[in-house]
Amino acid sequence: MARLDLVTLVEESYEPAIEFFVEKLGFELVEDSPALANDGHPKRWVIVRPPGGQTGILLAQADGMDQASIVGKQVAGRVGFFLRVDDFDQAQSRMASVGVEFVTTPHIESYGKVAVFLDVAGNRWDLIGSS
């Protein structure tokens, strides 16, 4: 059986991205190791993951103009990431209290209560859960 192990988010720099995902969203810092890019220059291998989650996010610092140009626009302004929580109201309240920017008010959809928030780079996420 196959599973999706990692997805990459290209970030402006490592530290603000780690702080956002760990401190504001409550993700776990799974790995932060030195690594080398294909051309041999140093980089880091940084993985964060929601507690209990299987799929992680590889936080990749932009390397060059092409990569820097997509920071915050990896899915062209659409919601591209979906964070499901058990208790929507508690999660949304906690996230807002630590400065996570919500760009829609919570509303009910067929799949649960939802509100759109921005990550540190400006990518759009759905927070989804029950209340």
Q: Decide if 57 contacts 18 (C-beta within 8 A).
A: no
Q: What domain count does the chain have?
A: 2
For residues 10 and 60, state if they share a domain: yes
pTM equals 0.93
Query: Looking at residues 13-17, what average pLDDT do you find?
Result: 97
Element housing 50 (H / E)? none
Domain range holding 114?
79-130
Whichever domain contains 44, its CATH number is 3.10.180.10
Greater model confidence, 130 or 78? 78
Query: Looking at residues 43-52, what average pLDDT do you find?
Result: 96
Q: Is the dihedral of CA 47, 62, 82, 17 positive or negative?
A: positive
For residues 83 and 116, state if they share a domain: yes
Quickly list DSSP for 8-39. Answer: EEEES-HHHHHHIIIIIT--EEEEEEEEE-TT
Going by pLDDT thresholds of 50, 70 and 90, the confidence category of residue 131 is: low
Q: Decide if 69 contacts 76 (C-beta within 8 A).
A: no
Per-residue model confidence as pLDDT tens digits over 52-108: 999 999 999 999 999 999 999 999 999 999 999 999 999 999 999 999 999 999 999
